[in-house]
Amino acid sequence: MYLPDHFRETDPAEVAGLIAAFPLAAIVAQTDQGLVANHIPVMAEGETALIGHVALNNDMHRIMSDGTPVLAIFRGQDGYVSPNLYPTKAAHHRHVPTWNYQVVHVAGRISFQHDDKVKRAVVGRLTRDHERAMNGDAGWRMADAPRDYMDGMLAAIVAFRIDITGITAKAKLSQNREAVDHAGVVGSFEARGLDAMAARMRRDSAD
DSSP 8-state secondary structure symbol assigned to residue 176: T
User: What mask of x and - would describe binding to its own copies in positions 1 to 40, judged by CB under 8 A?
Assistant: xx-x-------------------x-x-xxx---xxxxxx-
Alpha-carbon distances, residue 91 vs 7, 65, 86, 88, 156 (angstroms): 26, 58, 10, 5, 62
Q: How far is Cα 48 from Cα 88, in angstroms, rounded to an integer?
A: 44
84 touches its own copies by CB under 8 A: yes
In whole angstroms, the minimum distance from the beta carbon of 206 to its own copies comes to 25
User: What mask of x and - would describe binding to its own copies in positions 142 to 161, judged by CB under 8 A?
Assistant: --xxx--xx--x--------
Pick the binder of its own copies from 16, 44, 107, 118 (CB under 8 A): 107
Q: Where are the alpha helices (DSSP H) in 49-101?
A: 60-63, 89-92
Q: Which of 66, 64, 67 is nearest to 38 (CA)?
A: 64
Pick the binder of its own copies from 12, 87, 97, 187 (CB under 8 A): 97
In whole angstroms, the minimum distance from the beta carbon of 177 to its own copies comes to 15
175 touches its own copies by CB under 8 A: no
Letter string b/e over residues 57-69, b meaning 16 or more CB atoms within 10 A of that residue's CB: eeebbeebeeebe
Question: What single letter denotes the amino acid at residue 69?
Answer: P
With contact defined as beta carbons under 8 Å apart, do 7 and 24 qualify? Answer: no
Residues that bind its own copies (CB under 8 A): 1-2, 4, 24, 26, 28-30, 34-39, 41, 54-55, 57-60, 69-71, 73, 75, 78, 80, 82-84, 89, 92-97, 99, 101, 103, 105, 107, 126-127, 130-131, 133-135, 138-140, 144-146, 149-150, 153, 170, 193
